[in-house]
Structure 1
Amino acid sequence: MARAVAAAALAVASTVALAGCGTAPWDQTQFNTNAAGPSASPVIPSTAPATITPIVNELATGSTQHQLQAGDISLTVNYWSTLNMGEWTPEANKPISFSMVGSLGSDQGQQIYLSRVTLTPSVDGADGALSAPQALSDQAPIAPGYLVKNPYSYSQTFIIPAVDPAATSMTLSFTYEILLQSTPTSSEYAKQTAYDQLTIALAT
């Protein structure tokens, strides 16, 4: 009888020992290759901030000066307006004034004349180009033109009429047609053309 009890005790001890060598329930997942890994955090798409492009206004300080080149002729042009920029609204008549003086790189005494100047306006709004006023021009009534060689200069004012109420800016394109005397005593002239642009923001 004692031998049977001892054998039973040994069997129980072996079972306990085997159970003691097993894996604890909280460690089971480390051996489960089919267990799902930690869930990934949802990806939230980033939204780039809106880009605001400021409108260029070259007359913001009241005036501006541009340097132009037409062959050997250098032109200095000053632009301004007698109308305050705060009053440059689409509906207003907008005066643009400018003066020009020329000089020669290799001056041998020839004269420089302005035969014609043309202003072509273009108008833009928030959604793109809008209808624009007709071009304005000044054709010299005398031949060969207006004398513009330093110290003589040319000055003019063009009035830009009302434009589309949705307009936010204007680009003024200038074409200067210049005649250069071939020699100081010659009645023959070489034609040169200079181009320029001026961007002006409109007040709302």
Structure 2
Amino acid sequence: MTGVNRRASRAGRIMGIAAAAVLVPGLQACSVPGFPGSRDSSESRAETREPGPAAENELAEGSTSHRLGAASHTLVLDYWTNEDPAGWTPESSPIINVSVKIDGAPGPGAVRVTRFNARVDALGMELTNDQGSFALEPPYAYTSGFALPANPSAASTTVLFTIDLLTETEPGSGVFTRQTVLDTLTVGYSGEAPGAGTEPEG
């Protein structure tokens, strides 16, 4: 072998060694599945969730009262339940009672409730629709009740009430004016529905 060929061969070996020295660190930095030190990008990570704000529940204490203006009258709507609201969940169907009365001294003419309607628009459900002619002037009151339907996955349920009143213009005249009064009641859930918070198996 000539001197030129020997120098060329030696130079080639040096370049090959240098290339190997560059490639080895690169391999050491790789992550190979199944070998110690490997990390799977699909590895699940535990998440910490902050609890959200408590849902509004007007019956959290078992009862509540609303005062509404109705022409020359002040209506008092009393809502209550005999159950424990702390245990209500979206799957619950509690019984809720309501009483409507006029606050203060009776007026000169008669007052009648001709319709009492309760519904949950979010569910498209009518809970009660009582029509007739019910005396409301003191000391009388109109009282009703209904079962609140289950509302799965909801934090609360709002009930809309529609009350039609007839008020006599003059005592004994038989002439009445009509007024519609609206009110809402929001019932929240502080308990967990059965199976809530559990992770699916698998």
1:181-196 equivalences under 5 Å are 181-196=168-183
Question: How far is 1:172 from its partner?
Answer: 1.3
Any idea what the Cα deviations from partners look like across 1:87-136, whole Å, max 9, x if unmatched?
A: 422222221101011157993x10111111111225xxxxxxxx515122
Give the counterpart of 1:169 among 156, 170, 178.
156
Quote the residue 1:140 is aligned against: 131
1:97 alignment partner AA: N
Describe the SS at the equivalent of 1:135. Answer: strand
The residue identity in structure 1 corresponding to 2:158 is T
Structure 2 CA distance for aligned equivalents of residues 111 and 104 of structure 1: 14
The 1:63/1:103 distance shift into structure 2, 3 A limit, reads closer
How far residue 158 of structure 1 moved from its aligned partner, in angstroms, is: 1.0
- The C-alpha deviation readout for 1:144-190, integer Å capped at 9, x for no partner, is x11111110011101122222x1110111111111111211022211
Alpha-carbon distance between aligned partners in 2 of 1:103 and 1:184, rounded to the nearest angstrom: 19
* Alpha-carbon distance in 1 for matches of 2:125, 2:143: 21
Asked if the contact 2:75/2:102 (under 8 Å) is kept, the reply is yes
Report SS of the residue matched to 2:79.
strand
Secondary structure of the residue that 1:86 maps to in structure 2?
helix
1:7-46 alignment runs, 5 A limit = none
1:121·1:172 contact (CA, 8 Å) conserved in 2?
Answer: yes
CA 179–55 in structure 1, closer or farther in 2 if over 3 Å, else same: same
Closer, same or farther in 2 for the Cα pair 1:191/1:180, shift >3 Å? Answer: same
Indicate the residue corresponding to 1:125 in structure 2.
none
1:179 partnered with 2:170: no
8 A contact 2:113–2:166 mirrored in 1: yes
Q: 1:57/1:135 Cα in 2 relative to 1: closer, same or farther (>3 Å)?
A: same
**How high is the TM-score relative to the length of structure 1?**
0.62
Alignment partner of 1:200 is 2:187: yes
Question: Which of the pair has more CA radius of gyration?
Answer: 1
5+ residue gaps in structure 2?
1-49, 193-202
SS at match of 1:60: coil
CA contact 1:120–1:174 (8 Å) conserved in 2: yes
Q: Matched residue of 2:173: which SS?
A: coil
Q: Which runs of 5+ in 1 are unaligned?
A: 1-49, 123-130
Letter aligned with residue 139 of structure 1 = D
Output the CA distance in 1 between the equivalents of 2:106 and 2:91. 46
Q: How many residues align?
A: 142
Q: Does the 8 Å contact 1:116/1:137 carry over to 2?
A: no
After superposition, the CA RMSD in angstroms is 2.3
TM-score (norm 2): 0.63
Deviation, structure 1 residue 51: 9.4
Q: Which moved more, 1:150-159 or 1:81-90?
A: 81-90
Corresponding residue of 2:91: 91
